């Protein structure tokens, strides 16, 4: 019997996940999106997989450019994560007006100065997966920015602290 999509979604909302900001710099602008479907694939070579909506603009730009950066977000970035998960968002630079950032050395993509870590990546390949694609990324640089900061976690559709308590809205 097929699994009901709403049951599937409800079940996976019970899985706590770290939150990252994926950014791509192309010839026109900077594109970014919030992702919580990031997984370590291999240490040799260093590979991660990121799930992206197949029809989404970030996947299209990443496929064309072939390079990106992932900032592992700290708990203080809940508002940034919300901004980048909204539909119809403007340029990444406009969403980060009050947030310190710089460009990653290899990809040239925006990374947050006060994130936990950064993965500067090259696209290895895209793998079709239902209504999403898995971007298989080779990690070329891994600056650790603030390993002591508390991580941003998503659970049951909300950003929470390490105890599972919802983060206050600021």
CB 114 within 8 A of CB 150: no
Give the residues of the chain that fall short of pLDDT 50: none
CATH number of 5-156: 2.30.110.10
What pLDDT, on a 0 to 100 scale, did the predictor assign at position 169? 65
CB 4 within 8 A of CB 67: no
Q: Pick from 118, 101, 99, 116: which is nearest to 150 by CA?
A: 116
pLDDT tens profile 70-109:
999 999 999 999 999 987 777 788 889 889 999 999 999 9
> Cα–Cα distance between 44 and 42 in angstroms, integer?
6
Q: Is 122 helix (H, G, I), strand (E, B) or coil?
A: strand
């Amino acid at each position: 019997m097929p699994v009901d999509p709403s049951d599937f979604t409800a079940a996976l909302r019970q899985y706590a996940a770290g939150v990252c900001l994926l950014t791509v710099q192309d010839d026109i602008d900077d594109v970014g999106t919030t992702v919580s479907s990031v997984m370590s694939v291999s240490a040799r070579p260093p590979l991660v997989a990121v799930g992206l909506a197949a029809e989404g603009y970030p996947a299209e730009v990443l496929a064309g450019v072939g390079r990106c950066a992932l900032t592992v977000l700290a708990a203080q970035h809940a508002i940034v994560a919300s901004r980048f998960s909204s539909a119809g968002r403007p340029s990444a630079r406009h969403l980060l007006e009050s947030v310190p950032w710089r460009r990653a050395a290899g990809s040239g993509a925006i990374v947050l100065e006060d994130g936990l870590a950064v993965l500067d990546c090259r696209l290895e390949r895209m793998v079709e997966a239902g209504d999403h694609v898995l971007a298989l990324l080779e990690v070329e640089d891994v600056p650790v920015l603030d390993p002591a900061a508390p991580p941003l976690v998503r659970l049951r559709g909300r950003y929470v602290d390490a105890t599972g308590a919802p983060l206050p809205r600021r």
